[in-house]
Amino acid sequence: MEALAIPSVRKPDSKPPGPKTVGPWLGVLPHFRKDPANYLLSVAREHGDLAYMRLGPQHAFVVSHPDWIRDILVTHQSNFTKSRMLERAKVLLGDGLLTSEGEFHTSQRRLVQPAFHRDRLLRYSADMVDCAARAGETWSSGAVLDMHREMTRLTLAIVGRTLFSADVSSDADEIGRAMTQIFELFDTLLLPFSDWIQKLPIPPVRRFEKARDKLDQIIYGLIAERRTSGQDTGDLLSMMLLAQDDDANAGNARQMTDKQVRDEALTLLIAGHETTANALTWTWYLLSQNPAAEARMHEELERVLAGQLPTFDDVTRLPYTTGVFAESLRLYPPAWAIGRRAREEYSIDDYTIPAKSILLMSPWVVHRDRRWWPEPDSFRPERWSPEVVDKRPKFAYFPFGGGTRVCIGERFAWAEGVLVLATLAQRWKMRLVPGHPVATQAVITLRPKNGMKMTLESRSRR
């Protein structure tokens, strides 16, 4: 089926099919909040590629066809701004890359982009592997670990070292607790009238503010230390403190204030470790449930690396390992939903989307569509051979978004995911503890609701 947005067609008085509302004020919000990702999946499967629902006072449209998603994120992206989740995320992230808009977003992205160029990734990759190897050396066979906690600590160490030249391992547990507190309470800030709720001196708001203040303390400490030393270490933090961006309209050059550096640093600290930690946690889980795929990955690692630690250049030589990570991102995409708000009226198929409506596009949903993914619930890394990939619509898979707001750290995340897998899987297997409950928690990212308790098994080296 060819599905394209056609701006000239109008049906102003009709809406796409969708779920029935709970009440006149709440819409479907109570059902959505219970299990957001799976609720979107049920809506798409019952009502099709375009479905309407009301989330409190907000008109929302669930868009699930790759061609329409491409048009929203790429072709007609100028007609859309960030959705309510990212609008409300300003209370945590300020005007960082995830939340800023327009010329300011373009300017900030231009300042940060060089930190993710290929020559930088070459240097980062050595730190990624070293951090992973050091983490693996502290483990012991038979130990039971929460792999979500372990991967969170590891990816936090990697981001701290690569982007900020800092050892944040001593702060890892505090950062982890603050992040969990923020994620649990952020849901409250998405409620209707949450702008007012945020101003009330109630316990949830106080806990949110305390957690945010802890993260601020760490980030502003890094900024102050670097400003005092004046050292240019060539990392992202130095680049932001020293960068100047030419304002094409005024002909002026500007430097980033401490507040701007804080917003970008916190955004990248959170995005850079939280999403990859989740992706790696789900990868270890999937490998433990699919021993044939795990064995094939181990065979590739032994054949290509021959017991040596991987390098950046090895990523392209490990197609199956890369496929393992890609398939994990398909089944458990950390960014489980992407939202956009329409600036002006927009049409999809024969339906008119009113201005200010929210359009929800969910990788969790589209990545499970049988039209693009035969046996969608099966873990099949072989889906990622080039000849198979070429047959799928581009936006049947979009774990990092798309368009000008595509994740700036996408290449960083791919390299980190594959290199960490290759480093740790040479030495260890992880086995899910019998009876451990595995469930998703769709908050800002897709977390394992109960952690991921796994038993370590040492792999004998040949």
Residue closest to 334 by CA, chosen among 155, 76, 132, 92: 155
> What's the CA gap between 414 and 304, in Å, rounded?
18
- As given in the structure block, the two tokens for residue 158 are 């990697």
Residues in the chain with pLDDT < 50?
Answer: 1-11, 245-252, 462
> What's the CA gap between 38 and 24, in Å, rounded?
23
Sequence length of the chain is 462
> What's the CA gap between 236 and 268, in Å, rounded?
10
Where exactly are the structural domains of the chain?
29-458
The DSSP symbol for 354 reads P
CA distances, 348 to each of 18, 168, 190, 358, 401 (Å): 15, 47, 27, 13, 19
Those residues whose C-beta lies under 8 Å from the C-beta of residue 309, and which sit 6 or more positions away, are 129, 133, 423
- As given in the structure block, the two tokens for residue 379 are 């873990």
> What's the CA gap between 117 and 308, in Å, rounded?
26
Which tens digits make up the pLDDT trace of 362-409? 999 999 999 999 999 999 999 999 999 999 999 999 999 998 888 888
The class that CATH gives domain 29-458 is mainly alpha
| Tokens 């409190």 -> residue | 56
The DSSP symbol for 192 reads T
Could you give the strand order of the β-sheet that contains 428-432, starting from the edge strand earlier in sequence?
Answer: 144-146, 453-458, 428-432
Q: 376 near 327, Cβ under 8 Å? A: no
Q: Which of helix, strand or coil describes residue 348?
A: strand
What region does 269 belong to: left with phi over 0, alpha with psi -120 to 50, or beta? Answer: alpha
- As given in the structure block, the two tokens for residue 321 are 């390992």
Strands 252-255 and 244-247: antiparallel
Those residues whose C-beta lies under 8 Å from the C-beta of residue 103, and which sit 6 or more positions away, are none
Which tens digits make up the pLDDT trace of 244-299? 544 444 444 557 788 888 888 888 888 888 899 999 999 999 999 999 999 999 99
Q: Where are the alpha helices (DSSP H) in 200-318?
A: 203-229, 236-242, 258-289, 291-305
- As given in the structure block, the two tokens for residue 261 are 């550096």
Q: Where are the alpha helices (DSSP H) in 311-361?
A: 319-331
Q: 66 near 393, Cβ under 8 Å? A: yes
The DSSP symbol for 375 reads S
Those residues whose C-beta lies under 8 Å from the C-beta of residue 247, and which sit 6 or more positions away, are 107, 253, 254
Q: Where are the alpha helices (DSSP H) in 113-146?
A: 118-137
| Tokens 């890892």 -> residue | 172
CA distances, 180 to each of 86, 173, 183, 199, 417 (Å): 18, 11, 5, 21, 22
> What's the CA gap between 50 and 367, in Å, rounded?
16
- The model's pTM: 0.89
Please tell me the predicted confidence (pLDDT) of residue 3. Answer: 46
> What's the CA gap between 314 and 351, in Å, rounded?
48
Count the Cβ atoms, other than its own, within 10 Å of residue 418. Answer: 25
Q: 178 near 209, Cβ under 8 Å? A: no
User: What φ, ψ does residue 338 adopt, rounded to 5°?
Assistant: -125, 130
> What's the CA gap between 298 and 331, in Å, rounded?
21
- As given in the structure block, the two tokens for residue 402 are 């798309």
User: What φ, ψ does residue 153 adopt, rounded to 5°?
Assistant: -65, -40
